[in-house]
Structure 1
Amino acid sequence: MMHIPANRALLPAIAAGFLVFSITLAVAGILDFPAVRTDLSPEQLKRVSDVTRATTNFSKAEPYETMQGGAATSIDPVNRDIFSRPSANLSDEGGQDFHLGNALFRKLWVSAPSSTQASDGLGPLFNARSCQSCHIRDGRGHPPEAGGAVATSMVLRLARTAVTADEEQAVKDFHVLNFPDPTYGVQLQDLAVPGLAAEGKVTVGYSEEAVTLAGGETVTLRRPSYGISDLAYGPLDPATTLSPRIAPPMIGLGLIEAIPDADILANADPDGKKGTGIRGRPAIVRDHRTGQIALGRFGWKAQNATVRDQVADAFSVDIGISTPDRPNAHGDCTPNEAHCLAMPTGVQKRLGDTEAPDPILPLVTFYSENLAVPARRKASLPAVLHGKEMFYRSGCAACHTPKFVTRDGMKDKDGKDSPQAFQLIWPYSDFLLHDMGEGLSDGQQVGVASGRDWRTPPLWGIGLTQTVSGQQAYLHDGRARTLTEAILWHGGEAEKARNAFADLSKDDRQALINFLESL
């Protein structure tokens, strides 16, 4: 564990907007989060507030700015595997668990029955045979080319809103996020084991539209349209919406989980009382293990509270592998897919009650929690510092909150200091939901998130997208082929910042992009 020196400060203390929000939720009987951090003394809270205050000095890099993940930051040379490095402060025992988790993350599952009984149980319907198939070298995925194709690193989530009073109450009580298609479930699976038909193929088409920026520069945006061809089990329900989601990068997840709830909620302003036009709202969900109300912070709509929740969901829905947290061995098969439900599973009673019994899920979770954030590059260059100033001046930092300090006193499973404990980190996200406008709407409600709402994605590592993934694909569906395109798609609460970027001179816009590429 790396303690922050006494002459540094640590995290934001308290915000009036959060107090109002917290009291409102407490009165509603929904949750009871502490208004301030309980892991720090008053002196430490002051230091936290000081060190995480937004900078106004763009003449030089801030102290420790290059170490984006604190002591866990990877300082290895940059190459295509830079997102696959372990937390730099892992213990020897943690390093062993990381490498075991890595092997399981890359493991190719096979259909049942198989002679490799510890590896069977794939599907029967699935999107990928391994975690690594979607998270390419632990980085972000990309959409398929125009036309029908196996998407692999992009999926279509399927859902409808509540239509009965009981369904509405279930959503209100956070017992469900939405409701699956009655035939195709929560996600379209475009692959299947031998002897079973895949559910269908993702289709995507693009129309192009030109945007003219200050100075006359023209940028072409591509607007996607999605569909499904070759539906194997009948039509979709007319109320079912399609939400395309590319696989997000895996770095820094354990650090994100270690950010105290109070520090995320301090930036919330759901009623707009701060008058900034930025109305970040927390995603309130249930922890799938405990059933307790929790703060969602993972997934494109922050639908999962913990890394383990996210991993278990991916095992179940993307690969069709059951775990102790999601024990359904037939994955996303529905009662309307009788042939799928009749297929054999990979459950081996001598190994456990699920296809991936303990310790598989804990090891993959540990691996996912400890993929290191790479160190910043060129943070002190004048062009990058100027771009950082443009980033702040344009209003980008209003949602892409630069820095936090993680919880103090965290311990690992062996009672030792956690690698994620008490670290100054630079994720550039507030981890709240924001209305991003109609242009980015998928029309799909996910719990408290509407079709226009998306979680602010962290920006650390974004400049290495091409290096790791071999191509650039940004936003939830990968429609943006450059960082400039991604910014120009921002609407809703972010439209003011988007317009500020578009109104910059060409040199100032390029400087802002240089800054993003340094993250």
Structure 2
Amino acid sequence: MRCQLLAALLLLAGILPTQADDALREAYTQPLPGLADTDREAFFRGRSLFRQSWVVAPAEDSAAGLGPLYNRLACISCHQKNGRGRSPDGPDERMLSMLVRLSVPGKAADGGPKAHPAYGGQLNEEGIAGVPGEGRAALSWIETKPVTLAGGEKVSLRRPRIDFVDLAYGPIGKVLFSPRIGQPVYGLGLLEAVPEKTLVAMAAEAKADGVRGRLNRVWDAAAKQTVVGRFGFKSNQPNLRQQIAGAMVGDLGITTTLFPDENCTPVQKACQKAPSAGHPEMSNSDLDAIEFYLANIAAPPRRKADDPQVRAGERQFASLGCASCHRHELQTGPSPRFPLTANRQIAPYTDLLIHDMGKGLADDRPNFQANGREWRTPPLWGIGLVPQVNEHSQYLHDGRARNLQEAILWHGGEARTARQRYVAAPPAARRELLAFLESL
């Protein structure tokens, strides 16, 4: 009885989680409404594969195949609770849900980034026994000159600095690099179901405030042709299946029929000689299951939509110009493989196009037709739940923004006019906009 009374007092004090808190923490993991009982087995099988830790070959285990080089042991490690990764606090902290893309000037045979000759397309910090990890990316934070907002509020922004240390395969030399946190993985099937003609039409539209937006055209490894990209920070992947297969080989060292070669460069001799769990290591059946799972995860619904401050913030979102790129409504089309995503009106707050975001956010690393200043408009649905689900408040591709206001203030290029309007807006209007974003 005493324990129950203590628990009740703690709950009233806000110290213990409520059932509502628990539901919020699982907001990114729910299946699309209407998933048939016959499909739930496939959904949960895919979820199990997404969450499982992979092991080193040879092993009598269906999860064998890790490495020889890798970043983490499981997909869920970089997408905790299917949500947003975070960056380290300083150079002594390892990247746990973040990685660094690498390339050198020029283009690969498929038109994409040209991999570094010794370190490949991303830095793999870990290696299986006998295979040295490639090294470590030490991230430090540099504070920028404060921004003064209308009303006198001052905001200090930060940007990352990367130093490559403990390199195992020689000097890295002149390299193009881009740190990236793990992206949310809910709602992906709905985004894939938006017809290509819709993306083409949005790119062709005349827009206000110097906003343009265009398509990235990327290599489809299955179709063996260049197609419209829609996934990845620069819309550098054509579809969900290739996004998954690229992450499997890049992050975990797991080969698939799409990417059958191990992630070893010519100078990495021990990596080349390491045992494999098969050719490929992941079956098409397992790849199908992960694809089915990710295609059928729902985006969380909005909250407090009728709150007066939130409604005022929604109007600010439109009047400041945010909605030019963060489109409220999109319509999905036919989707034979994933019927629940078909012919639906969705509210992802993205146009899936790439935009010039200015010098401040540039990584100076081209990716197919996206240049070093261009980024895909990230979907905003679910963004207000990041603090509850992922227990941090980091945003943008490298986690530099410590809150939503800092994310807005980093906008430049095509978003410069909208940013200037936000800076000049009265404090009450800014609070309304942030309340709206927190409701998504």
For this structure pair, what is the TM-score category when the shorter chain's length is used for normalisation?
over 0.9
Aligned partner letter, 2:140: G
Aligned residue in 2 for 1:153? 97
| Residue among 436, 445, 469 paired with 2:390 | 469
1:419 aligns with 2:340: yes
Q: Cα deviation per residue 1:213-241 (whole Å; 9 max; x = unaligned)? A: 00001112112111211101101142x21
Candidates 169, 177, 181, aligned match of 2:112: 177
Question: What amino acid sits opposite 1:235 in the alignment?
Answer: P
Q: Which residue of 2 aligns with 1:406?
A: 332
Deviation at 1:123, TM superposition (A): 0.6
Structure 1 residue ranges without an equivalent (≥5): 1-74, 348-352
State the alpha-carbon separation in 2 of the partners of residues 315 and 257 from structure 1. 19
**Match of residue 284 from structure 2:** 358
CA distance 1:76–1:358, shift in 2 (3 Å): farther
Identify the residue that residue 182 of structure 2 maps to in structure 1: 247
Given the alignment of the two structures, is residue 130 of structure 1 paired with residue 66 of structure 2, yes or no?
Answer: no
Q: In the TM superposition, what whole-angstrom CA distance separates every residue of 1:80-138 from its partner, at most 9, and x where no partner exists? A: 1210111112111221110000000011101122242x221101110111100110110
Q: Quick check: 1:76–1:82 contact (8 Å CA) kept in 2?
A: no
Report the alpha carbon displacement of residue 411 of structure 1 after superposing the two structures with TM: 2.2
CA contact (8 A) 2:139 2:162 kept: yes
CA drift of 1:265 comes to 1.6
3-state SS of 1:282 partner: coil
Q: Tell me, in whole angstroms, the C-alpha distance in 2 between the residues paired with 1:511 and 1:78.
A: 26
In structure 2, the CA distance between the partners of 1:273 and 1:87, relative to structure 1 (3 Å rule), is closer
Match of 2:57 in 1: 112
After superposing on structure 2, the runs of 4+ consecutive aligned residues of structure 1 that deviate more than 4 Å are 272-275
* 1:226 and 2:162 aligned: yes
Asked if residue 346 in structure 1 is aligned to residue 267 in structure 2, the reply is no
Corresponding position of 1:85? 30
- Pairing 1:50-449 to 2, within 5 Å after superposition: 78-116=23-61, 118-162=62-106, 170=109, 175-209=110-144, 210-238=146-174, 240-269=175-204, 276-328=209-261, 330=262, 332-347=263-278, 353-408=279-334, 410-412=335-337, 418-449=339-370
Query: Residue type matched to 2:336 in 1?
Result: K
Amino acid of the structure 2 residue aligned with 1:377: R
Q: Which amino acid aligns with 1:402?
A: H
Q: Distance in 1 between matches of 2:41 and 2:214?
A: 39
| Percent of pairs with identical residues | 42
CA distance in 1, matches of 2:211, 2:148: 25
Which sits farther off after the overlay, 192-201 or 434-443? Answer: 192-201
Cross-structure match for 1:481: 402
Query: 1:129 is matched by which residue type in structure 2?
Result: L
CA–CA separation in structure 1 for the residues paired with 2:22 and 2:65: 38
Q: State the AA in 1 paired with 2:294.
A: S
Distance 2:306 2:105 in 1: 49
What is the distance in 2 between the residues matched to 1:104 and 1:304? 21
Hey, what's the Cα distance between the residues in 2 that align with 1:215 and 1:78?
38
Amino acid at match of 2:393: Q
Q: Offset of 1:184 from its aligned partner?
A: 0.3
Q: What is the aligned partner in structure 2 of residue 68 from structure 1?
A: none
Q: Distance in 2 between matches of 1:386 and 1:358?
A: 48
Offset at residue 274 of structure 1 (A): 5.0
State the Cα RMSD in Å. Answer: 1.7
Question: Counterpart amino acid of 1:432?
Answer: L
Aligned residues: 420
Q: Which residue of 2 aligns with 1:66?
A: none
- Report the Cα distance in structure 1 between the residues aligned to 2:65 and 2:194, rounded to whole angstroms: 36
What's the CA shift for 1:359?
0.6
Q: Answer yes or no: is the 8 Å Cα contact 1:149–1:202 preserved in 2.
A: no
Provide TM-score, normalisation by structure 1: 0.79
Quick one: structure 1 residues 506 and 514, their matched pair in 2 at CA, closer, same or farther if it must change by over 3 Å? same
**Is the contact between residue 359 and residue 413 of structure 2 (CA under 8 Å) also seen in structure 1?**
yes
Hey, what's the Cα distance between the residues in 2 that align with 1:76 and 1:221?
31
Give the AA of the match of 1:388. Answer: E
Are the counterparts in 2 of residues 254 and 307 from structure 1 also a CA contact under 8 Å?
A: yes
Mapped partners of 1:424, 1:465: distance in 2: 24
Give ranges in structure 2 of 5+ residues lacking alignment.
1-19
Per-residue displacement from partner, 1:52-71 (whole Å, max 9, x unpaired)?
A: xxxxxxxxxxxxxxxxxxxx
Residues 373-427 of structure 1, C-alpha deviation per residue, up to 9 Å, x if partnerless? 111100111100100011111000001011111104x323xxxx70001111000
Counterparts of 2:342 and 2:35, CA distance in 1: 12
What secondary structure, in the 3-state scheme, does the structure 1 residue paired with 2:105 have? Answer: coil
The question of whether the paired residues in 1 share the 8 Å contact of 2:350 and 2:379 is answered with yes
- Scaled by the length of structure 2, the TM-score of the pair is 0.92
